[in-house]
Amino acid sequence: MAASLMDRLAAARRQRFVGRTMERELFQAALRAPELPFFVLHLFGPGGVGKTTLLREFGYCATQLQDRPIYLDSRNIEAAPDLFLAALQQAIGVKSAEEIIPWLAAQAGRTVLLFDTYELLSPLDNWLREHFLPQLPGNVLVVMAGRNPPALVWRTDPGWASMMR
């Protein structure tokens, strides 16, 4: 059977992917570790430097390691907790927001949540940091990519500072 257009597009993108060796090695090492060494990987930089391309590559790497990537583009999510949960609910295919955490915990292997254009979720930053992310099971790695560095509280809170790169 011939490859689908989606498969061919993904292959063409991977073929053109170059560089970012350190970021790929860090990501792959985290997924291979018996216990995740960190739970949030925050990528940031100006528009056009390749954050989305790197997220796609992370998704491919996760699949190759038999882990499950879940990609959410924040341009398609309203910055409100219930709408964020609805988008995640749809992406993983559960019937209600209450099923998200149990579903994630029940997955064999790791699940990688890839949030692109994270700066658009800045109104949710406190809610994500204080309420949603702490509920995630230990098999979930979150990758946030946006134009801005993490807020100061991520870097100054001793707990979060040790749980993110």
Given the DSSP bridges, would you call strands 140-146 and 68-73 parallel, antiparallel or unpaired?
Answer: unpaired
pTM, two decimal places: 0.87
Quick: pLDDT tens for 73-105: 999 999 999 999 999 999 999 999 999 999 999
Per-residue pLDDT of the chain (165 residues; tens, 9 = 90+): 667 877 676 665 566 655 667 777 888 999 999 999 999 999 998 887 778 888 888 998 899 899 999 999 999 999 999 999 999 999 999 999 999 999 999 998 999 999 999 999 999 999 999 999 999 999 999 999 999 999 999 999 999 999 999
Please report, for residues 10, 22, 78, 131, 139, the alpha-carbon distance to residue 121 in angstroms, rounded to integers and kept in the order given.
26, 26, 8, 14, 23
Cα 98 to chain centroid, rounded: 20
